[in-house]
């Protein structure tokens, strides 16, 4: 008996398609375009001194923005960051006077973390929207800072001043310790968000808090933790800023959290929560810093800088909204 063998056509090999996510890499391309333009338009932009200055200018806003990124991804806003910064810096000065520079810095970080956790706890317990709740806590913290200092500037002892200014010291090719601290924060919290269970839970809560709760995630604890991390970053920024000035005061860094949130949004983190990345926030911070530096180098009226910044924020939010609408149609 003869058996016929049927020839089977080989399955078609799928074509590899290069897919570029504009939300991931568009912001990086934008930064590269701005850098190239300023490099060609000015003779001073790429000088070592200007590069070091640029990196140094990103530190304070960048540290605040790292904490804001984690909060926004988890679905909340922290408008108390700048007040936390001032409180932590003032506490850091007092702790430095009592225990020395190293312990003062550590206790300042602890102060910021605790204040952030208190903000988160108050919002979770009262169920007030984070925008309003954190704004109220910001006013409270500023008031406490005024009470603690009597509205005056506080500074460490004269013998401690050199050590207190450690974050302004150049360590490598003129790059300051503060800049390296910012880079370290990007790496650590980038890994936390992208490579840990805790990070996945932050994304889950920000994407759909009810679904995350039903799947066993403790959403209140995630929100409190996000505020605590934001407080930690604010305290680090506060100590860098106090280190530069050699002092701290209740009014320091007022409104800087809005600039940080602008950097987060420009970097592509969804204002609705559930999507974003720390490295993109760092790029957003660099874009704002490079634009400001460019206006100074080109001698342009800085009034228009606000217009450009506002346009970038509007563009980023509009792109995020369009992307969400597109995903909902699928």
pLDDT score of 69: 95
Mean pLDDT of the chain: 86
pLDDT band at 12 (very low <50, low <70, confident <90, very high): very low
187 HSE (CA, 13 A, CB side) = 6
**Does 240 or 323 have the greater pLDDT score?**
240
SS3 content of the chain, % helix, strand, coil (to 5): 75, 0, 25
Mean pLDDT over residues 137-142, rounded? 95
| Mean pLDDT comparison of 113-122, 151-160, 191-200, 287-296, highest-scoring range | 113-122
Mean pLDDT over residues 109-124, rounded? 96
CATH number listed for the domain at residues 52-309: 1.10.3470
Helix (H) or strand (E) holding 43: none
pTM of the model: 0.87
Using a pLDDT cut of 70, give the percent of the chain over it.
Answer: 89
Pairing of strands 170-172, 175-176: antiparallel
> What confidence tens digit (pLDDT) does each residue in 148-180 have?
999 899 999 889 998 999 999 888 888 899 999
Contact (Cβ atoms closer than 8 angstroms) between residue 92 and residue 111? yes
Give the integer Cα–Cα distance in Å for 303 and 300: 9
Give the integer Cα–Cα distance in Å for 83 and 62: 16
Contact (Cβ atoms closer than 8 angstroms) between residue 239 and residue 108? yes
pLDDT band at 143 (very low <50, low <70, confident <90, very high): very high
**Does 242 or 26 have the greater pLDDT score?**
242
52 pLDDT more than 70 = yes
pLDDT band at 15 (very low <50, low <70, confident <90, very high): very low
pLDDT score of 306: 79
190 pLDDT more than 60 = yes
Give 56-114 as a DSSP string: HHHHHHHHHHHHHHHHHHTT---TTHHHHHHHHHHHHHHHHHHH-HHHHHHHHHHHHHH
Residues pairing with 176 in the sheet: 170
> What confidence tens digit (pLDDT) does each residue in 208-249 have?
888 888 888 899 999 999 999 999 999 999 999 999 999 999
Beta strands in the chain (DSSP E): 170-172, 175-176
pLDDT score of 324: 59
97 HSE (CA, 13 A, CB side) = 13
328 pLDDT more than 80 = no
pLDDT band at 11 (very low <50, low <70, confident <90, very high): very low
> What confidence tens digit (pLDDT) does each residue in 272-307 have?
888 889 999 999 999 999 988 888 888 887 777 778
End-to-end CA distance of the chain: 55
């Amino acid at each position: 008996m003869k058996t016929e063998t049927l020839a089977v056509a080989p399955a078609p090999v799928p074509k590899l398609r290069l897919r570029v996510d504009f939300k991931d890499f568009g912001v990086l391309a934008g930064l590269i375009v701005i850098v190239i333009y300023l490099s060609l338009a000015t003779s001073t932009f790429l000088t070592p001194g200007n590069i070091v200055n640029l990196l140094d200018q990103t530190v304070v806003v960048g540290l605040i923005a790292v904490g804001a990124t984690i909060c926004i991804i988890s679905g909340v806003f922290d408008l108390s960051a700048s007040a936390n910064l001032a409180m932590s810096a003032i506490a850091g000065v007092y702790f430095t006077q009592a225990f020395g520079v190293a312990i003062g810095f550590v206790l300042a970080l602890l102060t910021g973390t605790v204040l952030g956790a208190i903000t988160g706890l108050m919002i979770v317990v009262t169920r007030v929207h984070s925008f309003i709740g954190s704004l109220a806590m910001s006013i409270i913290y500023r008031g406490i800072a005024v009470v603690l200092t009597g509205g005056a500037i506080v500074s460490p002892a004269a013998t401690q001043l050199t050590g207190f200014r450690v974050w302004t010291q150049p360590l490598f090719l003129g790059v300051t310790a503060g800049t390296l601290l910012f880079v370290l924060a990007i790496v650590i919290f980038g890994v936390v968000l992208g490579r840990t269970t805790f990070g996945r839970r932050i994304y889950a809560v920000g994407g759909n808090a009810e679904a995350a709760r039903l799947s066993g995630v403790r959403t209140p604890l995630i929100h409190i933790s996000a505020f605590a991390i934001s407080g930690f970053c604010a305290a680090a920024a506060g100590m860098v800023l106090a280190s530069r000035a050699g002092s701290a005061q209740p009014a320091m860094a007022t409104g800087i959290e809005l600039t940080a949130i602008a950097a987060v949004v420009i970097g592509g983190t969804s204002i609705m929560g559930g999507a974003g990345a720390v490295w993109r926030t760092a790029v957003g911070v660099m874009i704002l810093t490079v634009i400001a530096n460019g206006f100074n180098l080109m001698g342009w009226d800085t009034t228009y800088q606000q217009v450009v910044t506002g346009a970038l924020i509007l563009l980023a939010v509009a792109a995020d909204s369009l992307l969400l609408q597109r995903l909902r149609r699928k």
